[in-house]
Amino acid sequence: MKRREFLRHTGWFVAGATLVGIPACSDDKPPEGGPGPGGSEPDPAGTYAFPQGVASGDPRETSVVVWTRVVRTAATSDKFDDVTVRVKISTDPAFATLLVDEAVLAVQDSDHTVRVLITNLSAKTTYYYRFVAGQEMISGQTRTAPAANDEAQVNLAWVSCQDYTAGYYGAYRQMLVDDAARAPADQLHAVVHLGDMIYETRGEASQTALDETFQPITLTNSDGTPRQVAAFPSGGGKRAGLNFAEKVDDYRHLYKTFLSDPDIQAARARWPFISIWDDHEFTDDCWQSQANYTNEATLDEGDQSRRLAASQAWFEYVPVQLTGATGVPGVASHAKDFKAATVVDAVFTDPDADNFVEEANNVAAIDAITIYRSLRFGQHVELVMTDERSYRSDHAVPEDLFTAIGAPLFFTPRNVLPLELVNTFDAGKTANGGSPPDLVFGQIPNLRIASPAGTILGKQQKQWWKDTMKASDATWKLWGNEVTLMRLKIEKLGATDPSDRVVTADSWDGYPTERNELMAYLRDEDIKNVVVLTGDIHAAFAGTVMDDFDAAAQVPVASELVGPGITSNSLYAFVEAATRSFVDPGPAPDQIGLHSLVATDATGQGGSAFTENLNLLLREGTAAAGTFAGAIKQGAPVDQALAAAHGAATTPNPHLAYVDTNAQGYGYIKVTGEQVAASIVTINRPITAPGAAGPGAKRVASFTIQKDAPGSLELTGVTGTKPFPI
C-alpha cells in the first residue's frame, strides 16, 4: 500500500514538528477540490462537530499523541463520509506560530477518530494543539516528558472506574480545580488511567447511582436527558440477565457516550493521559478472551469476537503510542498497534503449561494488540504499565463451585473466598512443595491438582516486567497496576468458618503464587523504590507490599497506593448490599450477623446509619468489628464502642496504613529524588452535577514514602471528614 492509502484506512498519522509554518509531510495534503480545508469552497458553519472533544496521550521526551473524533453533523447528507481535518501544534496558546499545520483524514473505518503522533518535540515543554474542520475548531493542551537525565520533579494523577450511569464525572472537575490551586511546580504533568474507562453492560443494578443511604436514584445530564446508556446499535448480547456490548459498534457506542461528559472532556483536553485497560473495557472479571457472566464452567463458551471488537474500539478512542514505542534501553518492547483479525467464537481448550489457551481464535484475538509498555519521566520516574487481563489464567476457584457448594463457604463466586482454598487452587500442582492435597478442608476436591500455577501477567509479559524493573536506572519505578497487589484479608467470620478470607480473588490475592514470585524478584535483585499505583476496587488503601504475605517473617519490598473510582459505586456499597440477608441472629450483643460486621447503624449513638464497620473489619479484625457492632446494639456511644473494639483488636492486615472503603475520587503523586509525596482525594458523592467549582473534597489523605526504604510509607495526615474509625 502507498502511505496515503494506508493512512486513509487507519486514522493513524505521524507528523514531525519542524520549521515554523512548514507542514511536516507533504504527501498528507487533502484531496483537491470540493468543500472543506484545502478545497475550493468553504463549508457552512455547523457542518462539523467534535462530540468527544480532544485528548492527548503517552507523552515522551520528544513526542506525544493527539486525538479527536470529528464528524459531519446530522443535518448533512454525507455524514458518514471521510472528513478532512487540520491538526495544528504550537508552543503558543494563541497559535501565532505553528510547528505543525497538516491535513489528515477522519475515516469511517476508524469511526472518524484521528490519532496523530507528533514527533521532533522538545522535552518538558507545554504544547497547544488544535483540530480544525471547516469553520469548527477545538483545542487542547499537552506536555512532553522531561529528558531521562533531567532531575525534574514529576507530578501525576491516577484514576480508574468511571461508570457513566453511577455518577457524574465530578472527580475530574475536582482535579482541575485542585490543580489550579497548586503551586506551578506541583501542578500535574499527566494522568495515569488504570482502566474501566467504560462499562460494557447497560441497565445493571450495580451500575445504578446510589444516594447517601445507598438507595437508587436517577441522574440527568445538563440538557435534562437521563444519564444512561442508550440501546446498543446491534442490540448487544444477552446472558445471565445482562445486556452487554457485543460488536465493535456497541463498544464504540459506549466510548462515545462516556466521553460525551464535559468534565472528562475538560481533563483530557488539559493533560496527556497514559492508559491501560482493566476488565470492563471488554467484559467483567475477564481473563484472556473469556467472560464470566454465569457461574457455570467458564471453558464452555469463548468470547473471541467480543475481545477483538473491544480491543479495536479501545485503540480507536484512547490515544496511545504502541508500535514503535521504546522502553528501558536494552529491554525489547512488545507493544504494538491493533491489527484486525478474523476470529469466531469457539469453545475454549485447556490452558498450556504457561496457562495460556492456545485455541487459534483466542490466540488471534489476544495477539491483535499488545498494550503493556513503559514510559520514562526524567531521572526519577519509570512508569511501568501492565496488561492484567489478556494473559491471565482462569480464576483459581472455578465459579461452578459456587453453585455446587454455596454459602456459608461461598458468598459470591469470586469474592470473600476462603484464603486456604484460593492459595491451594492457585498453586495447582506446585502446592505443598509439589505434593498438592487431594482435598481442601477435607471435603472439597482439589480441581487444580494437575494445573500450572496461576498467572496474571503471563510468561512473556512477566519476563518483560522483571527485565524492565531491573534494567531501569530511574530513581523510582511506578507500576501502573490494575488490581490490588496487597493482601486484603478478612479473619474467620465465626467459629465454624474454615479459613480466613480474601476480599476478592479477582485481584492479586487470587494469584498469590505469581505475586510471591514477582515480589521475591524485587527482594532478591535488591530493586528498591517501587511504588504501585492501583485502581479497580472502588476504595482507597495505602500500605506496604510484602515479599510473601503468608511467611512468618515478611520482608517489605514496595509501597502501594490504591485510588478510588471516579464514579463507580464503592466497595463498601457493594459489600453492604451483598450481606443484607446476613442479619443479626438475635438481640444479644454477641449475636452479630455478617451485615453488622460490614455496616452498623449507629444513628442513635453519634454515628451514621451506615457506619463503615468494614473499615474496622479490615484494620482491626473480626472480633473488633463484632465488639463495636455489639456495643452499638447495647446503646453505647460510638467513642465507647470504639474503645471496646480497640481492646479486642487484632492485626489481619498489618501492612495497611490507610483504609477508606466508601469513596470516589482520584490520586495525586509528586516524585522527587528523595521521596514520594501522595494524596488520595475522596470527593463528595458524585450524584449532583458538579458545576465549575467541582463536587468538593470530602477528605484528603496524605502520605510520604522515603527513598531506599520500602517499608516507609507513612500516613502524614487526613483533612476533612476522616474515614471511620480514624
Over 60: is that where the pLDDT of 193 sits?
yes
Q: Which CATH class is domain 155-569+663-720?
A: alpha beta
pTM for this model (two decimals) = 0.95
Q: What is the pLDDT of residue 301?
A: 65
Beta-sheet strands, E only, within 505-609: 530-534, 540-546, 556-562, 599-600
| Mode of pairing for the β-strands spanning 714-720 and 697-706 | antiparallel
Residues 259, 699: Cα–Cα separation, whole Å: 27
The pair phi, psi for residue 82, each rounded to 5°, is -60, 150
Model pLDDT, residue 235: 97
Question: What's the confidence (pLDDT) of residue 299?
Answer: 55
Using CA atoms, how far residue 557 sits from 206, 236, 521, 542, 544, in Å, is 35, 45, 9, 14, 8
User: How does DSSP assign 142-187, residue by residue?
Assistant: EEPPPPTT----EEEEEE----TTS---HHHHHHHHHHHHS-GGGS
Res. 80: pLDDT tops 90: no
% residues pLDDT > 70 (the chain)? 94
Rounded Cα distance between 282 and 695, Å, is 30
Residues in a beta bridge with 418: 501
Q: What pLDDT is recorded for position 399?
A: 86
φ/ψ of residue 288, rounded to 5: 50, -125
User: What pLDDT sits at residue 33?
Assistant: 32
pLDDT band (50, 70, 90) for residue 5: very low
CA distance 576 to 171: 23
Residue 406 banded pLDDT, cuts 50, 70, 90: confident
pLDDT tens digits, residue range 268-322? 999 999 999 999 999 999 999 998 887 776 555 679 999 999 999 999 999 999 9
Quick one: which H or E segment has residue 690? Answer: none
Q: Does 3-144 match 155-569+663-720 in CATH topology?
A: no
Place of cell 501525576: 156
What are the cell numbers at 283?
467484559
Q: What is the dihedral of CA 315, 318, 320, 322, to 10 degrees?
A: -20
Confidence at 9, pLDDT banded by 50, 70, 90: low
Mean pLDDT, residues 385-401 taken together: 94
Q: Which helix (H) or strand (E) holds 6?
A: helix 3-8
Distance CA 432, CA 452 (A): 13
Q: Give the closest residue to 6 by CA, choosing from 498, 337, 361, 293.
A: 337
* Under 8 Å between Cβ of 132 and 88: yes
- The string of pLDDT tens digits covering residues 31-43 is 333 344 444 567 8
- Core vs surface per residue 172-202: b (16+ CB within 10 A) or e: bbbbbbbbeeeeeeeebbbbbbbbbbbbbbb
Backbone CA torsion sign across 599, 167, 701, 560: positive
What's the pLDDT tens digit per position in 105-150?
A: 999 999 999 999 999 999 999 999 999 999 999 999 999 999 999 9
Of 701, 699, 723, 726, which is closest to residue 714 (Cα–Cα)?
701
Do 197 and 275 contact (CB within 8 A), yes or no? yes
Q: Which CATH fold topology does 3-144 show?
A: Immunoglobulin-like (2.60.40)
Domain extent listing, the chain: 3-144, 155-569+663-720, 589-658
Lowest mean pLDDT among 25-29, 80-84, 499-503: 25-29
Q: Which of 206-210, 508-512, 626-630 has the lowest mean pLDDT?
A: 206-210
Which distant-in-sequence residues (6+ apart) come within 8 Å of 102 by Cβ? 13, 15, 23, 24, 25, 28, 86, 87, 116
What is the predicted pLDDT for the residue at 20? 36
Q: Could you give the 3-state DSSP secondary structure of residue 51?
A: coil
When pLDDT is cut at 50, 70 and 90, the band that residue 12 belongs to is confident
C-alpha to C-alpha distances, 338 to 12, 371, 489, nearest whole angstrom: 11, 9, 38
Order of all β-strands in the sheet with 242-244: 201-202, 242-244, 237-239
- As a residue count, the chain comes to 726
Average pLDDT value for the chain: 92
**Per-residue CA distances from 479 to 151, 345, 373 (Å):** 20, 33, 11
Measured distance CA(594)–CA(169) in Å, rounded = 33
- Pair 143, 189: CB distance under 8 Å: yes
162 C-beta neighbours (distance < 10 Å), count: 28
